[in-house]
Amino acid sequence: MMPSISPSSSYNTATVSSSSAIVRVEKATSEFLIGPDWTMNIDICDTLNSNQWLAKDVVKAVKKRLQHKNPKVQLLALTLLETMVKNCGDYVHFQIADRNILQEMVKIVKKKASFLRLQGTMSLSVDKHFSFPYVRTLHVFFFFPDWDCTSHF
């Protein structure tokens, strides 16, 4: 005997899938990543291509990540957004337009422009012999013995 599926149980399945898609967006744009997680990005696109009804929630989650205070998260969100635009259909494009993603991108650019103006003001102040505290730069290097970096250049 086959179990019957009530409308409420199929709704719960949709909710679980939606929340797992949002979790994947958060993982793909995590501040702890060194660079874009292309496997996760393409997996999100494949999920959207097979479940178009998830587009609204995924685009909403990407927009939330674009509003994050960490610029690394913002860049990863932009990379995911670009991947979605290039690999998903019109239903995703419509949601991107409907959620005013472009306005969030403009806000990021305006913040960057105001930072550059501040940086220019600081350099002018340095020219006039004002002193600012020393900021130390930390460089971190990673060693990946299996990678042949010379073949990519």
- Please write the tens of the pLDDT for every residue from 97-112: 888 888 888 887 777 6
Domain presence at residue 141? no
Domain presence at residue 98? yes
31-87: pLDDT as tens digits: 999 999 999 999 999 999 999 999 999 999 999 999 998 989 999 999 999 999 999
Mean pLDDT, rounded, of the chain: 76
Amino acid code (one letter) for 125: S
Domain presence at residue 30? yes
Q: Identify the pLDDT of residue 59.
A: 95
Q: Is 135 left (phi over 0), alpha (psi -120 to 50) or beta?
A: beta
Q: Is 35 left (phi over 0), alpha (psi -120 to 50) or beta?
A: beta
Domain presence at residue 136? no
- pTM of model > 0.75: no
Domain presence at residue 140? no
Tell me the mean pLDDT in the region 122-141: 51
What is the domain count for the chain?
Answer: 1
Range of the domain at 110: 10-129
Domain presence at residue 142? no
Domain presence at residue 5? no
Name the nearest CA neighbour of 24 among 46, 3, 7, 4: 46
Are the CB atoms for 99 and 63 separated by under 8 Å?
A: yes
Q: In CATH, what number is assigned to the domain containing residue 93? A: 1.25.40.90
Are the CB atoms for 48 and 8 separated by under 8 Å?
A: no
- The secondary structure of residue 152, as a DSSP letter, is G
Domain presence at residue 134? no
